[in-house]
């Protein structure tokens, strides 16, 4: 009888914002699209500058002989892509980790991202609301079975 195992290989988290009140699938005028991406770019720069200073961003190395810290998660490059999130047109920030994100890390990231998105939207005179957090987990699977050879 085979034995199956699975392990998390990567966890992707996106922290999403609804800017300007647009519905998913809405055609944005050029100035609306430009403003949306300008806000996303400005917010991303602030997030990039602050993400490494969050307490949850680093942890001691898991190697017993090491005496240093390693990154827990990584900020993905800014694609500034829009997506549909429950009927809303949203933009966001993607992060990736080899382990599931802790509740503490998600709270810190939500706070950092919200501050930067809200500030960027306010300076552009556009509305902005936190939309939610989406996670995608990738797994590696293995199967072990005993084989008989005649």
- Taken in order of first residue, the domains within the chain and their CATH numbers are 3-58+70-144 (3.30.70.1130)
Q: Model confidence over 123-142: pLDDT tens digits? A: 999 999 999 999 999 888 88
- Is the pLDDT confidence value at 102 over 80? yes
pTM, full prediction: 0.82
Query: Percent of the chain scored above 90 by pLDDT?
Result: 48
Q: Three-state SS string across the chain, please?
A: CCEEEEEEEEEEEEEEEEEEEEECCCCCCHHHHHHHHHHHHHHHHHHHHHHCCCHHHEEECCCCCCCCEEECEEECCCCCCCEEECCEEEEEEEEEECCCCCHHHHHHHHHHHHHHHHHHHHHHCCCEEEEEEEEEEEEEEEEECCCCCC
């Amino acid at each position: 009888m085979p034995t199956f195992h699975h392990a998390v290989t990567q966890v992707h988290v996106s922290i999403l914002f609804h800017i300007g009140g647009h519905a998913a699938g809405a055609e944005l005028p050029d100035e609306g699209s430009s403003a949306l991406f300008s806000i996303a770019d400005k917010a991303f720069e602030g997030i990039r500058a602050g993400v490494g200073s969050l307490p949850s961003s680093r942890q001691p190395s898991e190697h017993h002989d090491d005496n240093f810290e390693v990154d827990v998660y990584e900020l993905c490059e800014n694609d500034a892509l829009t997506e549909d999130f429950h009927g809303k047109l949203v933009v966001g920030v993607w992060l990736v980790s080899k382990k599931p994100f802790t509740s503490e890390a998600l709270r810190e990231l939500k706070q950092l991202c919200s501050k930067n998105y809200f500030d960027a939207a306010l300076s552009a005179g556009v509305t902005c609301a936190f939309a939610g957090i989406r996670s995608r987990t990738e797994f590696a699977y293995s199967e072990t079975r005993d084989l008989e050879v005649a």
